[in-house]
Amino acid sequence: MAATHIQHEEHHPSARGYVKVATVLFVITIFEVAVYYIEPLRVLDLLAPILLVLSALKFCGIGGWYMHLKMDHKLFFVFFAAGVVLAATLIIALMALFGELLEPGKPIISMNTELQRIAASAKPQAEEPATPAGGLQPYINPKDIGNVELGREFWIMKGCTGCHMAPNIPGGGQIGPNQGHFSQRPTIAGGVLPNTPEAVENWIMDPQKYKPGTLMPNLSVTEQQAKDLTAFLYSLP
């Protein structure tokens, strides 16, 4: 019985049958590539659904005929289908959670995009009386350095509170110094740089350059962002 087990297993397609399946798969692939070049489909957002359907057909062709799922015991289909279904669910779920499902290629959670959005929608600063410094350092009006409100936003978005506390900002870590009275400090970066707006901007943009091995990481800050952050720091009481 065991020796005949192979033969009686199921109705194998013949070699001709396999070639037929291969031809169908071949043709579907040609369709896929052709569809790729049809501009109107892309514009109408139909490219993705069509290609996914065609791929699914190829998937079924290979799985059903080449891998014999169609003719074999249905348990194999169950084992494989479980993996495929969960796989597809995972891909879709992660795409949805990262905002890729509805608008592919346009990330909505990317921090850089958020920062750009904030900068683009920045309102002009309200005119407030400048706070006199009353200390060792000469007074510099923060608004002359950059946009204080934007700087405050960047301070939070960039995660500076992870290491620093600052007045009127909730929370804050204790790894770096508390930024209260920032404008009154004679030096910054642990005494390495003088406390001038320019030095502060340079330091924010590339801490490692001025103090190699410092714990302050490079946060990919643009020059304008650095200016705004400096303005914010100088505005702190």
Partner 1 sequence: MAVEAAPNPVVAAEHTSTGLNHRKVLMWTFLGSECMFFASLISNFQVQRGRSLNGPYPDDVINIPFTSISTFSLLMSSLMMVLALAAIQRNDVRGLKIWLLACAFLGTLFLGGQFFEFTQFVAEKGLKLSTNLFGASFFVLTGFHGTHVTIGVIWLISLYFAAARGRITVKDSLSVELAGLYWHFVDIVWVAIFTIVYLLKV
Partner 2 sequence: MATLVRPAARPLTSLPRSQAMTGLWSWIITVDHKRIAVLYGATAFIMFLLGGIEALIMRLQLATPNGQVVDADTFNQLFTMHGTTMIFLVIMPLSVAFFNYIVPLQIGARDVAFPRLNALSYWIFLAGGIFINLGWLIGQAPDAGWFGYANLTEKPYAMGLNTDFWLLGLQILGIASILGSLNFFVTIVNLRAPGMRMMRMPVFCWMTMVTNILMLLAFPVITVALVLLMFDRQFGTHFYIPSGGGDPQLWVHLFWVFGHPEVYILILPAMGIVSQVLPTFSRKPLFGTPFVIYSGIAIAFLSFGVWAHHMFAQGLGPTADAAFAFSTMAIAVPTGVKIFNWIGTMYRGQLHFTTAMLFSVGFIAMFIIGGLSGVMHASPPADLQQNNTYFIVAHFHYVLFGGAIMGLFSGIYYWYPKTIGRLMNEKLGKWHFWLMMLGFNLTFFPMHWIGLDGMPRRVYTYPEGMGWDSYNMAETIGAFVIAVSILIFMYNAVWSMRHGAVAGNDPWDARTLEWSIPSPPPHYNFEEIPVVTAMDDWWHKKYGDTGHEAAHGAPAAPPAMAGASVDHDVHTEHAGHGGGGHHIHMPDPSYFPIILAFGMFVMALGVITNYWICLVGFCFVFAAIYGWSFEPVSAPEPPSGSAESHPVHETPRTPVAAH
Angle 222-223-229 from CA coordinates, rounded to 5°: 90
Among 53-61, 146-154, 166-174, 197-205, which window interacts with partner 1 (CB under 8 A)? Answer: 53-61
- The number of beta carbons lying within 10 Å of the beta carbon of residue 101 is 13
Q: Which does 80 bind (CB under 5 to 8 A by kind): partner 1, partner 2, none?
A: partner 1
Q: State whether residue 90 is helix, strand or coil.
A: helix
Q: Give phi and psi for 146, each to the nearest 5.
A: -175, -165
Considering the rule CB under 8 A, would residue 18 count as an interface residue with partner 1?
yes
Smaller CB separation from partner 1, 56 or 192: 56
Considering the rule CB under 8 A, would residue 79 count as an interface residue with partner 1?
yes
Q: Give phi and psi for 179, each to the nearest 5.
A: -95, 10
List beta partners, residue 166.
169
Considering the rule CB under 8 A, would residue 86 count as an interface residue with partner 2?
yes
CA distances from 20 to 9, 23, 219 (A): 22, 5, 58
Q: State whether residue 80 is helix, strand or coil.
A: helix
Q: Which does 218 bind (CB under 5 to 8 A by kind): partner 1, partner 2, none?
A: partner 2
Among 64-72, 135-143, 167-175, 195-203, which window interacts with partner 1 (CB under 8 A)? Answer: 64-72
DSSP letter at 103?
Answer: S
Residues within the interface to partner 1 (CB under 8 A): 1-3, 5-7, 12, 14-15, 18-19, 21-22, 25-26, 29, 32-33, 35-36, 42, 47-48, 51-52, 54-55, 58-59, 62-63, 65-67, 73, 75-76, 79-80, 82-84, 86-88, 90-91, 94-95, 98, 100, 104-107, 110, 112
